[in-house]
Each structure stands twice: as C-alpha cells, then as structure tokens.
Amino acid sequence: MGILGIVLMVIFVLSALLLVIVVLLQDEAGDGLGGIFGGGGGSQVGNRSGNILTRITSVLAAVFLLSSFGLAWLNRTPDSGDVEAAARRLEAQSGESGVQWWVTDEDDTEGQ
C-alpha cells in the first residue's frame, strides 16, 4: 500500500470517527424517521433548510463512502489471484481437456 493508500486510510478513519461524533451530537427533535410515526416535529413539512450538523453529517458521509471505495479499489485482488484463471492455467499445463482439478487422487480410488 503506497502513500495514496495511507492517505486514504487516514481520511477513512478520521471521517468515521468524526461521523460518529457528529451523529451523537445531533438532537432528537423528532425530525428524523421516528417523526413519521407520530413524533411532532417543530418544522413544517416543506421546510428543508437543515442545520449545520445535518450538512456536516452529509459531507462526512460522502467523504467516508468515497474513501472506502478508494481503499477497496486500491486493495483489490489482482487478476493473477483469480481461481478460475488458475484452474484454466492448470488445465492448459496438463494438456488434457477433461482434467478435474478439484478431484484428488484419494477421491479417484474411493469409487473402485
């Protein structure tokens, strides 16, 4: 993992911690999902102004998701680690078209 991976990991951890802190700081005014089922919110239905904590939460969530996708892309398995490709290489090396690479020698002798 190069310098980009380290930077993404730091951004990922910081955004996760800050996201937890900001969500815990928000008040329970009944404006969330619980307000749908009878919680009387103080705002009107069409009011979508939102305060600074909800905006910070959405920005931190976007940073968290982008950094997690970036880390997943950087740490993906190379093509040489593909099981199907390894089976094809083994089949090509043996020269037989009907090689059953998943069957061991012990499995062959059990049926006899």
**pTM of structure:** 0.56
- Round to whole Å and give the CA distance between 41 and 27: 12
Residue 102 counted as domain residue: no
**For residue 48, what pLDDT is reported?**
54
> How many domains, in total, are found in the chain?
1
Mean pLDDT, all residues of the chain: 76
Residue 78 counted as domain residue: yes
- Round to whole Å and give the CA distance between 67 and 11: 7
Residue 61 counted as domain residue: yes
Task: Name every residue whose Cβ is closer than 8 Å to that of residue 41 and which is 6 or more positions away in sequence.
Answer: 29, 30, 31, 35
Q: What is the pLDDT of residues 39-65, one digit of tens each?
A: 555 555 555 556 888 899 999 999 999
Q: Is the pLDDT of residue 80 over 80?
A: no
- Round to whole Å and give the CA distance between 107 and 104: 5
Residue 107 counted as domain residue: no
Q: Is the pLDDT of residue 69 over 90?
A: yes
Q: Where are the alpha helices (DSSP H) in the chain?
A: 3-25, 52-74, 83-94, 105-110
